[in-house]
Amino acid sequence: MFSMPLPRFRQPSDDRAAPAPAGPRPRGVRLGLLLGVELLLDRSWFLIAGLTLVMYGPVLWRLYPELGWLNLLLALGFAVGLALSVLVHELAHALAGRAAGWPVTRIVLTLMGGHTAFGSVRTTPLPTALVSLAGPLSNVVLAALGTGVLFVTADSLAGPGWALVQLLILANWILGLFNLLPGLPLDGGRVVEAVVWALTRSEAKGTTVAAWCGRGIAILTVAWLLWAQVWRQPVVLVITLLVAGFIFMGAGQALRQARVLGVLDAVRAGGVARPAMEFSPTTPLALVDATVMAATGDDYRGWTPDVVVRDRGAVGLLDPELAERVAPAHRGVVAVGDVAEWHPADTTVDPGTPGGELARVLESGRRAWVCVVDGAGHVTGVVHHEDLARLALRA
Using left for φ > 0, alpha for ψ between -120 and 50, and beta otherwise, residue 182 falls in beta
- Options 90, 203, 363, 386, the catalytic residue: 90
Look up residue 11 and give its amino acid: Q
Residue 89 in marked binding region: yes
CATH code of the domain occupying 269-392:
3.10.580.10
pLDDT-derived band at 2 (thresholds 50, 70, 90) equals: low
Residue 93 in marked binding region: yes
Residue 187 in marked binding region: yes
Give yes or no for residue 395 having a pLDDT over 90.
no
What CA–CA distances, in Å, run from 81 to 37, 153, 165, 172?
Answer: 20, 20, 9, 10
Half-sphere exposure of residue 151: CA atoms within 13 angstroms, side-chain side: 6
Look up residue 131 and give its amino acid: V
Task: Read off the pLDDT of residues 170-214 as tens digits, 9 standing for 90 and up.
Answer: 989 999 999 999 999 999 999 999 999 999 988 889 999 999 999
- How many angstroms separate the first and last alpha carbons of the chain? 26
- 21 vs 39: CA distance, rounded Å: 20
- Give the best-scoring range by mean pLDDT among 150-154, 230-234, 321-325: 321-325
Half-sphere exposure of residue 95: CA atoms within 13 angstroms, side-chain side: 11
- 113 vs 106: CA distance, rounded Å: 14
Annotated catalytic, 90?
yes
Kindly report whether the global pTM for this prediction surpasses the value 0.85.
no
Task: Read off the pLDDT of residues 236-253 as tens digits, 9 standing for 90 and up.
Answer: 787 788 889 999 999 999
Q: For the chain, what is the largest distance between any 2 Cα atoms, rounded to a whole number of angstroms?
A: 94
Instruction: Enumerate the CATH 3.10.580.10 domain ranges in the chain, comma separated.
Output: 269-392
- 5 vs 381: CA distance, rounded Å: 27
Q: What is the mean pLDDT of residues 356-384?
A: 88
pLDDT-derived band at 17 (thresholds 50, 70, 90) equals: very low
pLDDT of 27 reads 65
